Amino acid sequence: MSPKHENTLKKLFPLKYLEGCHKEDIKLEGKILDTTSNNGDLLLDEMFPQTTTNLLLADWERISGAVPGNDDSEEQLCERIVAKIRARGRLDKQYFIDLAAAYGYSIVIDGYKQMRCGEAECGDVLAPEEIVYVWKVLISEQNIELEALFNKLKPAYTLVEFDYTG
């Protein structure tokens, strides 16, 4: 740490106060100002999730509600936090497909249709009226984090099913 504040303080005092106990006071106060300045610079880095370090990473995680992966690096967790903060959310299929892609998964979303006269054909599955509120996510491998995220972001009146056969 360079004594930049100590040198600045020396320039502010008359020469007769640069000796004895005043010299030690100036040195101590300069060191405190240097530390405070460095902490201020660190705080500027911590102010944004893109540049945060371990100091406030847990707070950013809590505030954003980001769910860390089991083997996420610090950089990946920061990316998840930023994505979570920037996410606006929508109710269309493409939003959830893009969300899964951001987590590295390729999915297909299917919806169910209830039987309607004029649209149904012989052999169609009969389903209750409420089936229009259920949608199925076809995904190749199970991911608890993605399931939790989808269940958190889905419209409250819907039910999402996950199909891992694909």
- As a whole number of angstroms, the longest Cα–Cα distance in the chain is 105
pLDDT value for 90? 79
Q: Which helix (H) or strand (E) holds 101?
A: helix 93-102
**Domain assignment present for 18:** yes
Residue range 134-152: mean pLDDT, rounded: 90
Q: Where are the strands (E) in 10-106, listed by range?
A: none
Do 166 and 113 sit in the same domain of this protein? Answer: yes
Do 37 and 102 sit in the same domain of this protein? Answer: no
pLDDT higher than threshold 70 for residue 66: yes
| Residue 166 or residue 2, greater confidence | 166
**Domain assignment present for 52:** no
Apex 58 CA angle, 56 and 64, nearest 5: 100
Do 37 and 93 sit in the same domain of this protein? Answer: no
Apex 52 CA angle, 49 and 54, nearest 5: 125
**Domain assignment present for 115:** yes
**Domain assignment present for 74:** no
Query: Total domain count for the chain?
Result: 2
pTM of the model: 0.48
Do 94 and 39 sit in the same domain of this protein? Answer: no
**Domain assignment present for 32:** yes
- The boundaries of the domain holding residue 102 are 89-166
Distance CA 3, CA 66 (A): 41
Please, what is the average pLDDT of the chain?
83
**Domain assignment present for 71:** no
Where residue 1 falls among pLDDT bands split at 50, 70, 90? very low
| Residues in CB range of 136: below 8 A, 6 or more apart | 109, 110, 111, 112, 160, 161, 162, 163
